[in-house]
Amino acid sequence: MKATAVAPANIAFIKYWGNKKDNLPYSDTISMNISGCVTTTTVEWNPQLKHDFAVLNKKTLRGADLERVINHLRRVRKILQVRYKAKVVSENSFPTGVGIASSASGFAALTLAAVKAAGGSLSEKELTLLARQGSGSAVRSIPSGFVIWHKGTNTNNSYAESLYPPDWWSLSDIVLIVTTKEKSISSVEGHKRAPSSPLFETRVKRKLPERLRKVKRALAQRDIKLLGETIEEEARELHEVARTSKPPINYLIPTTKKIINQAIPRWRREGVPVYFTLDAGPSVHIICLAEYERALLKKIKKEFLDMQYIVNKPSEGARVIRKHLF
């Protein structure tokens, strides 16, 4: 009763910020799975175990983090009628809590591994419904490539599906890890505060529907300028909502601002069509056509000498692998 799954993180072009019960979002969102930021998770349902326990990056989880995993295991137990407790071991290929959605890859991998270990065979849609309850953004790390999360109206119809496979468009997402310090305010807390921002209502009613249309068109037509301009606006708005929510949240640090306000516009003026987006953290995701990746890396290395970065391509979604972590 053991299985292992790998799932990618995803970078949202249209972002989930603010939620209702059961992680229901206020709007549809769209993302791209990213190949270089993955979580591998092994789950074993074991009749000998008295308690569920989980290890992430070689550290035993405790407190609220463990509780979140146990709550998710409970959901799987209920759906698949499993009677045993589980051992969970998980590894991220990237730093946690710095604006790469580790909860997305984490809960997608946990969902798939836990279901497979129980011998269950859920459809992709059912897996997304389940992953979403662990962490909203995990819904989009199950299907492949470019993914839409339909907001739905209740817990049984807020699911995700692939819009295009990974090879639809050769984009690169270069994540600049501007600091490895973990962020102090979780996205769980950010979602709760979001509706208190005076910007939230206009965002949901007007801005998001407009941007969704633009991102869909940009993907369909592989229009990097339209995609880039729209995702930059969207990323700035998420951080404005966070900054104006009560109490306010500020995820950006001076280096982030330097990259998005100075370096990227300058690189564009120098002829490299690159755009940024951000998650709920200080890291910058630089989106460009793959053919500009080398020119861009040269600029990054020259200007931000020792900065860590991860190069990502559009990736397939969560999948089962044979090699277990224990």
Residues that bind ligand PMV (CB under 6 A): 12, 15-17, 29, 101, 103-104, 135-137, 187-188, 191, 279-280
Q: Which residue number, 104 or 215, has a Cβ lying nearer to ligand PMV?
A: 104
Q: Which residue number, 149 or 169, has a Cβ lying nearer to ligand PMV?
A: 149
Nearest distance in Å: CB 205, ligand PMV: 18
The pair of structure tokens assigned to 23 is: 């992680």
Nearest distance in Å: CB 137, ligand PMV: 3
Q: Which residue number, 12 or 88, has a Cβ lying nearer to ligand PMV?
A: 12
Q: Residue 142 in contact with residue 7, Cβ under 8 Å?
A: yes
Q: Which residue number, 4 or 10, has a Cβ lying nearer to ligand PMV?
A: 10
Q: Residue 236 in contact with residue 187, Cβ under 8 Å?
A: no
Q: Which residue number, 85 or 193, has a Cβ lying nearer to ligand PMV?
A: 193
The pair of structure tokens assigned to 12 is: 């949202």
Q: Which residues contact 257 (CB under 8 A, 6 or more apart)?
A: none
Q: By C-alpha distance, which of 285, 91, 253 is closest to 184?
A: 253
Nearest distance in Å: CB 292, ligand PMV: 24
Q: Which residue number, 2 or 150, has a Cβ lying nearer to ligand PMV?
A: 150
Angle at 165 between CA 296 and CA 11, to 5 degrees: 50
Q: Which residue number, 216 or 268, has a Cβ lying nearer to ligand PMV?
A: 216
Residue type, 118: A
Nearest distance in Å: CB 213, ligand PMV: 17
Distances (CA, A) of 319 to 36, 42, 112, 164: 15, 12, 7, 17
Nearest distance in Å: CB 135, ligand PMV: 4
Instruction: State phi, psi for 207 to the nearest 5 degrees.
Output: -70, -45
> Sheet containing 308-312: which strands, arranged edge to edge?
275-278, 284-289, 171-177, 308-312
Nearest distance in Å: CB 243, ligand PMV: 14
Q: Which residue number, 12 or 82, has a Cβ lying nearer to ligand PMV?
A: 12
Nearest distance in Å: CB 55, ligand PMV: 20
Q: By C-alpha distance, which of 42, 72, 95, 6 is closest to 317?
A: 6
Nearest distance in Å: CB 187, ligand PMV: 4
Q: Residue 54 in contact with residue 42, Cβ under 8 Å?
A: no
Place of tokens 């989880």: 61
Q: Which residue number, 40 or 135, has a Cβ lying nearer to ligand PMV?
A: 135
Distances (CA, A) of 115 to 31, 55, 88, 125: 24, 18, 12, 13
Q: By C-alpha distance, which of 17, 33, 187, 160 is closest to 99?
A: 187
Nearest distance in Å: CB 191, ligand PMV: 6
Q: Residue 34 in contact with residue 312, Cβ under 8 Å?
A: yes
Q: Residue 12 in contact with residue 31, Cβ under 8 Å?
A: yes
